[in-house]
Amino acid sequence: SVVACQEQAALALEAPHAEVHAYVQAHPVKHADETGWREARSRAWLWTAVTSFVTVFLVQARRSTDAARALLGDACGVLITDRWGAYGFWPDLARQLCWAHLKRDFIKIQERGGPDATLAAALLAERDQMFAWWHRVRDGTLARSTFRRYMKPLQDRVYHLLGEGMVHGSAKTMKTCRLLRKHADALWTFVYREGVEPTNNAAELRIRHAVLWRKTSYGTHSPDGSRFVERVLTAHATLRQQNRNVLDFLREACVAALSHAPSPSLLPQPT
């Protein structure tokens, strides 16, 4: 009976889920992330893409570029992610690498000691200064034009430090610095584009509920179960973002499906 109800709910949420998915792909700014999943005792991945008012989830068998394209579509707008290679098809000038993840990378470099530690300390100091200014921009106490002027020499210093790491660092540090220099344009998109954050916290926050669900349910047993999960997670996260009642929407969607009426929409409602 429970499975039958899930199947009915999944069908009722099919159209709203597709509508949200298309909305996210066309949105000018979005965050993306992925986490491990299980489907029929095989490894799978739960992907998410997040905007200011909607979130979409997909369960896919791979953590590949094809899976990222299935989630995000063609490169449209600015994408904020970590450094996972599956997102490499997105142009660097329209991508923002997460500085929270970069902090972890710098700490790993610092823990190697020696010249690596000196390099990492300098990079972390530049990061801290950057966020001190950025928080003032968000608070309205520092004009964005002034912030951009402050950031130019900081960007040059970071680029120079990464160059030093490519020459004088350990093998792992050299590799990290080389990759960051290669995608240097993706470090600073938030400086020049309104509405872009320097971290991927929005996606990590939305995917946390799904991670807790996975830890208690151990994933899904079939593709049908995965469709239910991705659709109900999409509805739950999106409705919470919009301060709308989740159970009321699910009831409305199921009634519409049973009466062959148009499905309710998960898109932001006009105020």
Task: Write down the pLDDT at residue 218.
Answer: 87
pLDDT, mean of residues 175-193: 96
Pairing of strands 95-97, 78-81: parallel
How confident is the model over 38-66, as pLDDT tens digits? 999 899 999 999 999 999 999 999 999 99
Cα distance between the two ends of the chain = 39
Taking the C-alpha atoms of residue 168 and residue 78, their distance in angstroms, rounded to an integer, is 34
DSSP 83: S
Give dist(CA 117, CA 98) in Å, integer: 21
Do residues 13 and 232 lie in contact, with contact meaning Cβ atoms separated by under 8 Å?
A: yes
Residue 271, pLDDT above cutoff 70: no
- Say what the pLDDT of residue 2 is: 87
Question: Residues 6 or more apart from 160 whose CB is under 8 A from it?
Answer: none
Span 177-194, average pLDDT: 95
Q: Is 21 helix (H, G, I), strand (E, B) or coil?
A: helix
| Secondary structure letter of residue 87 according to DSSP | G
Query: What is the per-residue pLDDT across 221-255, written as a single tens digit (0 to 9) for each?
Result: 999 999 999 999 999 999 999 999 999 999 999 99
Average pLDDT over residues 113-135: 96
The CA distance from 13 to 6, in Å, is: 10
pLDDT at 4: 87
Let me know if 240 is exposed, middle or buried by CB neighbors in 10 A (0-12, 13-18, 19+): middle
